[in-house]
């Protein structure tokens, strides 16, 4: 019987690092805060506004995203796009992620064999 609270805490821990990668990958196509939340949710990486909004600003500060106000729509929205540095970083992180998944698979296989 798995303690749901414990599972939730570990899941959150596991996902914490992947949110950055998910944002960088998703924003290779320009997007705004709430739209990004919906995108992440639709692919199965649900997150919160109080995580994503500060994160977007931080990534921009670190020079991984560029931003632009779009006032053509019904309401003004701040659009973010992953820049060259961000794309490169995302590529490296993605490779790491794949390696990690492969490594965990090895451990998992070794255990059940």
Partner 1 sequence: MTSLTERYLAAALRRIGERERPDVERELRSSIEDAVDDRVAGGEPADTAEIAVLESLGDPARLASGITGRPLYLIGPNLFAQYQRLLVTLLTILVPVVGVGLAALELSRDGGVGDALAAGILGALGVGVQTAFWITLTFAVLERVDIAKLDDADLTAALGPWTVKQLPELPATGRAGIGETVGEILTLMLTLGGLILLRGASLPHGGSGDTVSLLAPQLTDSWLPPALAVVLVSLIGLHIVIFLVGRWTFALAAAHAVMQALFSVPVIVLALGGSIINPAFAAEIGWPPLADGNGVVMLSIAAGVLLVTAWEIIDGFRRARRAAATTSATVEAPAGVRNG
Q: How far is the CB of 107 from partner 1 (least distance, A)?
A: 26
Rg (CA), the chain: 17
Give the total of residues touching partner 1 (CB under 8 A).
20
Q: Encode burial over 96-112: b for 16+ CB neighbours within 10 A, e otherwise.
A: eeeeeeeeeeeeeeeee
Of 31 and 86, the one with the shorter C-beta distance to partner 1 is: 31
Stretches 1-9, 48-56, 81-89, 91-99: which one binds partner 1 (CB under 8 A)? Answer: 48-56
Alpha-carbon span 15 to 50, nearest angstrom: 15
Residue whose structure tokens are 């749901």: 4
Site membership for partner 1, residue 81 (CB under 8 A): no
Q: Which of 20, 39, 78, 87 binds partner 1 (CB under 8 A)?
A: 78
């Amino acid at each position: 019987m798995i303690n749901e609270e414990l599972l939730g805490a570990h899941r959150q821990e596991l996902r914490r690092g992947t949110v950055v990668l998910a944002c960088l990958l998703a924003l290779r196509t320009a997007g705004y805060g709430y739209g990004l939340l919906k995108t992440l949710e639709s692919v199965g990486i649900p997150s919160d506004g109080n995580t994503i909004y500060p994160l977007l600003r931080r990534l921009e500060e670190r020079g991984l995203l560029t931003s632009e106000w779009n006032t053509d729509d019904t309401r003004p929205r701040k659009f973010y796009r992953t820049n060259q540095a961000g794309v490169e970083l995302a590529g490296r992180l993605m490779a790491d992620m794949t390696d990690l998944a492969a490594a965990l698979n090895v451990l998992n296989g070794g255990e059940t064999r």
